[in-house]
Amino acid sequence: MIDTLSAAWLIARKDLAIEFRTRSAFLSSVVFALLGLVIFYYAWDPTAVSVADLAPGVLWIIFTFSGLLGLHRSFGVEATDHAIDGLLASPVSRHSIFLGKAFANLVFVAAVQMIAIPALVLFYNLPLGDVAAPLIAIALLAAIGLVAVGTLFSAMAVNTRLAELLLPMLALPFFVPIVIAATQATAKLLSGRPVAEAGAWLKLLLAFDIVFVAACTLAYPFTLEE
Amino acid sequence: MSFTAASSPAPIVEVGDLTRSFGHTRAVDGVTFSLAPGECLALFGPNGAGKTTLLRILAGLLKPSSGAALVSGVSLPAGAEVRSRVGLISHHTLLYEALSPRENVAFAAKLYSVRDAAMRAEESLRRMSMMDWADAPVRSLSRGMQQRVSIARAMVHAPQLVLADEPYSGLDDSGARALTALLQELRSSGTAIIIVTHNLAEGLSIATHAAVMRRGRFARYDRRSDVDAASYSEIYRDAVAADD
């Protein structure tokens, strides 16, 4: 019998293969992120707000909403032709379905971040310098938490008539603590403060990740009850 | 009233007073039967009779509200061990339309830990005459071709119990013949089959037992050898008329 992690990897590979074929959600998310950066850039008054104050908020607003586009698609591909029934009737555990979906979503969000972060640095002329590595760590830690929560609520929302509306309504309140911690940590780094000052926010992000990943993995089977 | 076939040894499916409710509606209401290896139950009935709900319970997709449903002696809802013995053909294809038939069936084979998944997927597709379209995206295939792939997907792990919900849907004559031959071959190799269909002739051609389901209950349960197709057609018409 296939073990949980092998099944999760198999499901994640399948999801990534589907996204690679269609590229619909990825392109939508990247275009959304770049458009967001441009809109914020032209709405910004550099004499009133410094770049170090503006950029963290812009970055995490964009990641949050562009991520939602991909998260909605996560279980959307299972709804077409009821492919989810094929997964649920197979001998893989419910937890491996959630973990596979979450891992594919993490790759998706990380790929969007890999394009959006350099774009932000270019647009806003940010002095990235020594903070690039800690910034990547923040982005990854925050992405794990966002993806765990978003994947769970994507599973809950997919069979409703207003899935596109319901997913943000359910997920955004749970995104708040992650986005606050990520924004605060990013602000410390971009304002030139020592990396150690962002350490407390990084630890908080790590704690959120552990709690959300564990809670969402355990909660996922209950979203399948009819 | 018991529908248990007392002469059948070590049944693969045992269902006793099974009930599944949705709110105040009993979709399955006190159904009892058993099915031994190599036996096939053809399940007929009007729309909304509870046939699909019964199959979904046996596939582990729904929990019973009360009563017992056992597959290979294990009570449902069961774990991976039991699910690995069941093949499900739904009236939905259960396929990923962006992937090819080969990828869909190989993915299913890997989920079921089938050895040489790629080779078994190819065999299963060849059996349904789908090798010429094995690498085309599923979305580019006709409904009938998708149904053939869906059948190949359900059979790739050589299940001991096949649950087929309107498997002939969308199939042309050659596809229907291939499916009938496959189901008969599975039966003779000891696989138990429950087939839901509105086509009495197709269902009765492979069945060892036949049931008419109405409003969640078995209105009739017979050994195939005890009925002829003509009289069964009248029984079925009565059941449909009673539900209207």
Surface of A (67-126) touching B: CB under 8 A? 77, 80-83, 85-93
Question: Which of A161-175, A202-216, B22-36 has the lowest average pLDDT?
Answer: A161-175
Yes or no, beta carbons of A87 and B111 under 8 Å apart: yes
Does residue B4 carry a pLDDT above 50?
A: no
Cα gap B31→A177, rounded to integer Å: 50
Cα gap A44→B236, rounded to integer Å: 73
Note whether B206 and B184 are within 8 A (CB): yes
pLDDT in tens, B54-78: 999 999 999 999 999 999 888 887 7
Q: Is A159 in the B-facing interface, judged by CB distances under 8 Å?
A: no
Binned at pLDDT 50, 70 and 90, residue A148 comes out as: very high
Work out how many CB contacts closer than 8 A connect A with B.
Answer: 81
Does residue B7 carry a pLDDT above 70?
A: no
Q: Which residue has the higher pLDDT, A183 or A53?
A: A183
Closest CA to B129 of B94, B174, B193: B174
Binned at pLDDT 50, 70 and 90, residue B9 comes out as: low
Return the structure tokens found at A135: 């910034």
Nearest-by-Cβ selection for B107 from A14, A93, A225: A14
Report the pLDDT value the prediction gives residue A126, as an integer from 0 to 100. 83
Binned at pLDDT 50, 70 and 90, residue A173 comes out as: very high
Cα gap B102→A160, rounded to integer Å: 31
Residues on chain B touching A89 (C-beta within 8 angstroms)? 59-61, 83, 86, 88
Nearest-by-Cβ selection for A2 from B103, B113, B137: B113
pLDDT in tens, B135-189: 999 999 999 999 999 999 999 999 999 999 999 988 888 888 888 999 999 999 9
* Residue indicated by tokens 């499900």: B88
Cis check: omega of the bond before B101, within 30 degrees of 0: no
- DSSP class per residue in chain B: -----TT-SS-SEEEEEEEEEETTEEEEEEEEEEE-TT-EEEEE--TTSSHHHHHHHHTTSS--SEEEEEETTEESS--HHHHTTEEEE-SS----TTS-HHHHHHHHHHHTT-TTHHHHHHHHHHHTT-GGGTTS-GGGS-HHHHHHHHHHHHHTT--SEEEEESTTTT--HHHHHHHHHHHHHHHHTT-EEEEE-S-HHHHHHH-SEEEEEETTEEEEEEEGGG--HHHHHHHHHHHHHHH-
Best probe of the B interface among A21, A75, A90, by most B CBs < 10 A, is A90
pLDDT in tens, B189-225: 999 999 999 888 888 989 999 999 988 999 889 898 8
Residues on chain A touching B80 (C-beta within 8 angstroms)? 1, 91-93
Q: Which residue has the higher pLDDT, A72 or B151?
A: B151
Does residue B23 carry a pLDDT above 50?
A: yes
Nearest-by-Cβ selection for B84 from A1, A22, A225: A1
Average pLDDT of chain B is: 89
